[in-house]
Structure 1
Amino acid sequence: MNTADLGLPVAVPSTALFTDQYELTMLQAALRSGTADRHSVFEVFTRRLPEGRRYGVVGGTGRVLDAVENFRFDETILGFLRERGILDEPTLDRLADFRFRGDIWGYPEGEVYFPGSPVMRVEGTFAEAVLLETVILSILNHDSAVAAAASRMSVAAGGRPLMEMGARRTHELAAVAAARAAYVGGFHTTSDLAAGFRYNIPTVGTSAHAFTLLHDTERDAFTAQVDTLGSGTTLLVDTFDVAEAVRTAVEVAGPGLGAVRIDSGDLLLIAHRVRQQLDELGATKTKIVVTSDLDEYAIASLAAAPVDAYGVGTQLVTGSGHPTCSMVYKLVARADGDTPGTPLRPVAKRSMGAKTSLGGRKWAARRLDADGIAEAEVIGTGPVPAELADRQLLVPLVSGGTVVAREPLDAARERHIAARDQLPLSATQLSRGEAVLPTEYL
């Protein structure tokens, strides 16, 4: 959900310059050669998953739709391109009334994907489809990487709440996108208020060590926080001596203290000690929240600890070691002329090495076994087999330039949980391995 869904005002800047210069120079050259209006089909896919990952997660689809809608060349942008001498006047005239009027299909946000999966298909004239390459890849590569990391952390947490708190570890705008992607991947809340404002994600936050150090004593700090936020707040107990802080926290807030947060040290050992101490003090319902450079492996190592929630920052917003999905945007089919209805011919790069691609407009479906568990990602360019007709993955996102797939963010979040649950159990293993589903081409 974005602020438009909430009835809140928000500035919507053009996304037209979120692109590489060669997209525009290709357009200019295509206009001169008479090929700019040939019907073209581009597809987004990745040739392989990041090392050790068993599945990918589609993140950022909703943001792509926003970017496509706002891809406009106003006078300021056209003036910039003119002053730099990047484009000639005929090309600038063409861009002055640019609107994407084509079609976009894709895996719905939150769906899982595998090597070769055509996660997005963009169709239109070459002139309009080529311009969207950079902005689409920028969004999908970043958001899908964060969503995949979030998904793995969600599995490791085993149902315990997860708080996204990585805003201070990345670019301020990337932080908002990361919070959104983390929510799709299974996180419950964010500390980033911009993400809460724009996407209606629940927000959390209480105090840092600086607040404790501001006061003359730890007791004074706890008292001020409880007086302000109530006894249900979360008190940070590792500024000095943890045991003493827990004792003071319960004395100040009473046995109804909401939670204590531990941000350093041996989290497994400290969590057990704090749980025992809280119970002995009568604060049996006080929860324990842990933070401190967590990733999916650290979270999994705390599975047996009396931890009630996790706060994750750096590793989440950087994709837990894989900050991109290496998705590419390739022309896979085009017409021989610009007359409407001209048949499409498959095209593909045939260079040496691993950077080859498969031509033709593709469909994708997920085959299930007798128990309803996914067993293969099936991709083809011809007729869809009857047994896979109701298992197709691509859905219409934009039709004739109009967005047709707006949905609440919670829908993408719920879709991801359902898609992940349909994968073989080995998909949730944190050990390194190949993609949990093979990709079959028909």
Structure 2
Amino acid sequence: MNSADLGRRVGVPSTALFTDQYELTMVQAALKAGTADRRSVFEAFTRRLPEGRRYGVVAGIGRVLDAVENFHFDDEMLTFLRDQNVVDGPTLAYLADYRFSGDIWGYPEGEVYFPGSPILRVEGSFAECVLLETVILSILNHDSAIAAAASRMSAAAGGRGLIEMGARRTHELSAVASARAAYIGGFDTTSDLAAGFRYNIPTVGTSAHAFTLLHDSERDAFQAQVDSLGRDTTLLVDTYDVTAAVRTAVEVAGTELGAVRIDSGDLLLVAHRVRQQLDELGATGTKIVVTSDLDEYAIASLAAAPVDAYGVGTQLVTGSGHPTCSMVYKLVARASSADPADELRPVAKKSMGAKSSKGGRKWAARRLDEDGVAEAEVIGTGPVPPELAGRQLLVELVRGGEVVAREPLEAARERHVAARAGLPMSAMQLSRGEPVLPTEYV
């Protein structure tokens, strides 16, 4: 297996300070109380899907594994914590030796999830598990939100190409994570070279309006691009007059022109006109790419247009209105000591309202109907019913602190296609609605 398939992890900095201060102060208090080493089980889940969404998409698991591997405190970090009086001396000594040594199980990347799904289960001592809370939630909430938006756009595109091009609309590091999550959710390529380098995602890109404006004429700009990139390039045709630009593009590149891109105007109308013009000029194989503030609804509205690919930026990298999944990370079971033989006791928050949670170390399975279509997300804490034994969703990710489940990004992408195909057809509807599967607790 090519190492690039798994993501380039060389030079990854420590993730230990990607956390909230109260994670460290809880460890300090637990160390003093003698409870820090109590065997504990934490779970990441969401109480509800974003409003109107019918399913969620698990993304970021690979990045979580990287974060866990690289969660350690170096001398400079420890000096910062000491100088800022964040924690005391005994806690600094504990952090200096910190390496996660527990176990992690979770939904594999690309799988779908529903309210209550135990997306990630982290087991170990209280101290080593609680320190990972913030970085795990940061990754899962961001990446799963982007992947869910990408999945909806992919469903709306109906097999047409999708280009992720949101790097300039978000933080530079978020842009890389967004491209990765979008690829899992169904996008085909990215414009972000850092994402291509790190995760081996195919990259694309040719020119912007500035390139046309640089030259004395549109013809000069097209000629320069074709001379440099070849006839199979994509020419941007809406800087001035689209009809004139398409004519010039074919004159310069010939009927072998790869594609034209439209970035403004009434895309439905303009795409039909451009397709007719290209065909009349003999460029029947030239494709049409549209951009310009697209989301899943705009993509769906262009289903009848002769469009070959969509480029999506802002709406994708902001989760198309839902930039987080509201996942939480809760202690659900704990023992009274570090002894593996000590019984795990279910614990749960019992506050009023919607913030209560269900205790116990959970398993999850997806029940199918007689046609093989998913009909329920089943979650339990006791024995797994025999009929669900082969449908369990959690897989082992980390054993004894060692990652055991790295996989190529393509595997997560393919898994999502299969998981989405296994849902009821109503999952693909863009109209607002309830989760397409009920969550049943047994």
TM-score band, normalised by shorter chain: over 0.9
Structure 1 residue 340: deviation in Å? 3.1
> What does residue range 282-321 of structure 1 map to in structure 2 within 5 Å?
282-321=282-321
**1:343 maps to what in 2?**
343
Aligned twin of 1:437: 437
Show CA shifts across 1:73-96 (max 9, x none): 010110110110101111000111
**Residue of structure 1 equivalent to 2:21:** 21
Q: In structure 2, do the counterparts of structure 1 residues 48 and 110 end up closer, same or farther at CA, with 3 Å as the change threshold?
A: same
Determine if contact 2:104/2:397 at 8 Å carries over to the other structure.
yes
What is the letter of the counterpart of residue 308 of structure 2?
D
Within a 5 Å distance, the mapping from 1:39-118 to structure 2 comes to 39-118=39-118
Instruction: Tell me the equivalent position of 2:223.
Output: 223
What's 2:144 paired with?
144
Residue 418 (str. 1) matches residue 424 (str. 2): no
Please give the alpha-carbon distance, in whole angstroms, between the structure 1 residues aligned to 2:165 and 2:8: 24
Letter in 2 for 1:424: P
Structure 1 residue 336: Cα displacement: 1.6
Is the counterpart of residue 163 in structure 1 residue 173 in structure 2? no
User: What SS is found at the alignment partner of 1:398?
Assistant: strand
In structure 2, C-alpha distance between the alignment counterparts of 1:419 and 1:7, rounded to whole Å: 23
- Over the aligned positions, Cα root-mean-square deviation in angstroms equals 1.2
Q: 112-121 or 340-349: which moved more?
A: 340-349
Change (3 A) 1:128 1:388: same
Matched letter for residue 243 of structure 1:
T
Deviations 1:287-329 (A, max 9, x none): 0000000000000000000000000000000000000000000
How far apart are the structure 2 equivalents of 1:321 and 1:349? 29
SS of 1:48's equivalent in the other structure is coil
Q: Deviations over 1:147-181 (max 9, x none)?
A: 00000000000000100000000000000000000
In the TM superposition, residue 5 of structure 1 has moved relative to its aligned partner by 5.1
- Residue identity matched to 1:71: F
Distance in 1 between residues matched to 2:14 and 2:216, nearest whole Å: 50
CA contact (8 A) 1:380 1:441 kept: yes
User: How big is the shift at 1:338?
Assistant: 2.8
- What are the residue-to-residue correspondences of 1:367-382 with 2, within 5 Å? 367-382=367-382
CA distance, structure 2, for counterparts of residue 4 and residue 103 of structure 1 = 26
Aligned-residue offset at 1:2: 9.6
CA distance in 2, matches of 1:271, 1:21: 53
Counterpart of 2:186? 186
Match of 2:120 in 1: 120
Q: What secondary structure sits across from 1:332 in the alignment?
A: strand
Match of 2:266 in 1: 266
Residues 305 and 365 of structure 1: CA distance in aligned 2, closer, same or farther (over 3 Å): same
Instruction: Classify 1:407/1:254 alpha carbon distance in 2 versus 1 (closer, same or farther; 3 Å).
Output: same
Q: Distance in 1 between matches of 2:287 and 2:146?
A: 27
Question: 1:10 Cα deviation (Å)?
Answer: 3.1
How many residue pairs get aligned? The number is 442
Distance in structure 2 (CA, Å) of the matches to 1:265 and 1:288: 14
Any idea what SS the aligned residue of 1:342 has?
coil
> Would the aligned equivalents of 1:112 and 1:416 in 2 still touch at CA under 8 Å?
yes
Shift of 1:339: 2.7
Distance in 2 between residues matched to 1:420 and 1:315, nearest whole Å: 21
Q: Is the contact made by 1:3 and 1:197 (CA closer than 8 Å) also made in structure 2?
A: no
Is the 1:215–1:221 contact (alpha carbons within 8 Å) kept by the matching residues of 2? yes
Structure 1 residue 3 displacement after superposition: 6.3
Match runs of 1:359-374 below 5 Å: 359-374=359-374
Question: Residue type of the partner of 2:435?
Answer: A
Mapped partners of 1:351, 1:426: distance in 2: 34
Q: Closer, same or farther in 2 for the Cα pair 1:47/1:6, shift >3 Å?
A: closer
Q: Is the 8 A contact 1:237 1:245 kept in 2?
A: yes
| Aligned residues of 1:53 and 1:432 also touching (Cα < 8 A) | yes
Cα distance in 2 between the residues matched to 1:251 and 1:177: 40
Tell me how far apart the structure 2 counterparts of residues 331 and 150 of structure 1 sit (CA, whole Å).
31
* Structure 1 residues 116 and 9, CA gap change in structure 2 (3 angstroms): closer
Q: Distance in 2 between matches of 1:187 and 1:325?
A: 20
Structure 1, residues 178-233: CA drift from partner, whole Å, max 9, x if none?
00000000000000000000000000000000000000000000000000000000
Q: TM-score normalized by structure 1?
A: 0.99
Report the alpha carbon displacement of residue 341 of structure 1 after superposing the two structures with TM: 1.6
SS of corresponding position for 1:354: helix
Report how far residue 9 of structure 1 moved.
7.6
User: In the alignment, which residue of structure 1 is the partner of 2:358?
Assistant: 358
- Cα distance in 2 for partners of 1:194, 1:333 equals 40
CA distance in 2: counterparts of 1:4 and 1:97, whole angstroms: 31
Instruction: Evaluate the alpha carbon distance shift between residue 8 and residue 37 of structure 1 in structure 2; reply closer, same or farther with a 3 A threshold.
Output: closer
Q: Cα offset for 1:432? A: 0.4
Structure 1: 5+ residue runs without aligned partners?
none
